[in-house]
Amino acid sequence: MEFTAEMIAGLLDGTVVGDKNAKVHTVGSIDGGRCGALAYLTNPKYEQYVYTSEASVILVDKSFEPKQPVRTTLIKVADVGACVLSLLEMYNAARPRKKGISPLSAINAAAEVGEECYVGEFTVIEAGARVGRECQIYPQCYIGDGVEIGEGTRIYPGVKIYEGCRIGRNCIIHSGAVIGADGFGFAPKPDGTFAKIPQLGNVVIEDDVEIGANTCIDRAKTEATIIRHGVKLDNLIQVGHNVEIGANTVSSAQMGIAGTSKIGANCFVAGQVGIADHVNIGDRVRIGSKTGIDKDVPDGEMRFGYPALPGMQYHRSFAVFRRLPELENKVRELEKSLSQK
């Protein structure tokens, strides 16, 4: 698809500075833009590229005033970040959707697949499964017995959804994710071996959730592991049995959360965070990268480090920690001075 600068300005309520007939057919970064691309300036430190970019059109804030001659066409808008998001959403919505059931898929006669769905090659849908209308299930997926999938959900290649799990509407589950494998439950026996604890619950994922590639969400021992609506989980995340993640919480890659813990709504959890079992984390909590959480966290607080400390306490402690070698030398000098008296 190709658009002119004038068309884009009309969509975004912007003002064209330059050639209103400049054409674009793709979106690119401002430091690597090429002819035919739409680039954008959201961070002032990249302003230098406005004057050298090969992009045909660049979005800038209304307040932007160039300090050097500009070769490309500018579109001035009220909020560059919001406008870029709108354009990407429009472009994504305009992409053709796959449709049709591949003859190489295996759909049990007792399963239900809604209208206008796509089911790719070598996907298996077991008995009692129900797939809502307009779902996209890519090749080599497994949908277990009794699984429910809401309308408009997209499931990318290689996803495995075990029996009895429920997926909401308009969710996205990326390749390699496993939903509903057994929770990690074993009871020690007198002879030193372990007895497996049956995992009889399921996983419930509500509407508008996105699950990253190779993320694993374990089924509950009893009842359900629950991912509330609007949650966004990055790649390579482990969610243990009977965990609950609150609405609109976001987590970066490699978070691990142990069984029966709960994360509240509207939280942000950075990469490589570890959360112990039976921990309750409140709403609107922020957790920094590589933090280890083994105690409850009240609403609205921040945690950093291991063991986790409140934000300001962590930064004050770190300021001391990084000076420990210098402080050690001073202590040695004092000890030496005192021993000579």
DSSP state letter for 250: E
Average pLDDT, the chain: 93
Catalytic residues: 241
Tokens of 103: 């003859």
Same domain, 161 and 124: yes
**Domain containing residue 111:** 100-176
Contacts of 265 (CB under 8 A, 6+ apart): 228, 246, 247, 248, 249, 283, 284
More confident residue, 186 or 331: 186
Question: Which residue in 173, 171, 185 sits closest to 214, CA to CA?
Answer: 173
Domain count, the chain: 3
Interatomic CA distance for residues 245 and 225, integer angstroms: 9
The single-letter code of the amino acid at 97 is R
Structure confidence by residue, pLDDT tens digits, 131-169: 999 999 999 999 999 999 999 999 999 999 999 999 999
Structure confidence by residue, pLDDT tens digits, 169-226: 999 999 999 999 999 999 999 999 999 999 999 999 999 999 999 999 999 999 999 9
Q: How many CB atoms lie under 10 A from the CB of residue 225?
A: 28
Rg, C-alpha atoms of the chain: 26
pLDDT above 90: residue 286: yes
- Within-domain flag for 331: no
Asked whether 285 and 266 are in contact (CB, 8 A), the reply is no
Interatomic CA distance for residues 279 and 263, integer angstroms: 8
Instruction: State the DSSP string of 219-261.
Output: PPSSSEEEE-TT-EE-SS-EE-TT-EE-TT-EE-TT-EE-TT-
Same domain, 165 and 188: no
Interatomic CA distance for residues 242 and 320, integer angstroms: 39
pLDDT of residue 27: 86
* Residue 229 half-sphere exposure toward CB, CA atoms < 13 A: 6
pLDDT above 80: residue 107: yes
Q: Which of 176, 207, 223 is the last residue of a domain?
A: 176
Structure confidence by residue, pLDDT tens digits, 214-268: 999 999 999 999 999 999 999 999 999 999 999 999 999 999 999 999 999 999 9
Question: Which residue in 15, 22, 20 sits closest to 37, CA to CA?
Answer: 22
pLDDT above 90: residue 329: no
Interatomic CA distance for residues 69 and 248, integer angstroms: 44
Asked whether 153 and 134 are in contact (CB, 8 A), the reply is no
Same domain, 136 and 242: no
- Within-domain flag for 207: yes
- Within-domain flag for 326: no
The single-letter code of the amino acid at 184 is F
Q: Rank 66-80, 273-287, 326-340 by mean pLDDT and report only the highest.
A: 273-287
Same domain, 183 and 300: yes
Interatomic CA distance for residues 103 and 109, integer angstroms: 14
Asked whether 288 and 302 are in contact (CB, 8 A), the reply is yes
Same domain, 150 and 268: no
Same domain, 295 and 186: yes
Asked whether 293 and 273 are in contact (CB, 8 A), the reply is yes
Q: What are phi and psi of 334, to 5 degrees?
A: -65, -45
pLDDT of residue 341: 67
- Within-domain flag for 319: no
Instruction: State the DSSP string of 270-294.
Output: -TT-EE-TT-EE-TT-EE-TT-EE-
Interatomic CA distance for residues 282 and 285, integer angstroms: 6
Q: What is the CATH number of the domain that holds 51?
A: 3.40.1390.10
Interatomic CA distance for residues 179 and 212, integer angstroms: 11
Question: Which residue in 204, 232, 207 sits closest to 220, CA to CA?
Answer: 204
